[in-house]
């Protein structure tokens, strides 16, 4: 397996690139790895998340819920 390290501008390793054929072999050996792959959300999932966000904003405006710092929100993304 030939992994490639991904580094930031300071030379710090931030990730690993795994060739697709190696990734497929790893997935066959360990089924739990499949859960790590990104899956495009469905339209229904996106709409549900938007509805939840709007509800949360309304509660914040009403003072019923405390707002989170923007940094925390960005870290979640």
For residues 75 and 77, give the distance between their C-alpha atoms in angstroms, rounded to a whole number. 5
Domain boundaries, the chain: 1-39, 41-77
Give the CA count within 13 Å in the CB-facing half-sphere of 16.
8
For residues 19 and 15, give the distance between their C-alpha atoms in angstroms, rounded to a whole number. 13
State residue 45's pLDDT score: 94
pLDDT tens per residue, range 18-54: 999 998 999 899 988 888 888 899 999 999 999 999 9
């Amino acid at each position: 397996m030939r992994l490639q390290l991904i580094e930031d501008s300071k030379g710090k390793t931030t990730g690993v690139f795994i060739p697709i054929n190696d990734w497929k072999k790893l997935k066959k050996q360990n089924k739990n790895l499949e859960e790590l792959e990104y899956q495009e959300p469905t339209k229904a999932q996106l709409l549900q998340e938007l509805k939840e966000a709007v509800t949360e904003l309304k509660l914040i405006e009403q003072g019923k819920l405390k707002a989170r710092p923007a940094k925390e929100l960005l870290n979640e993304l």
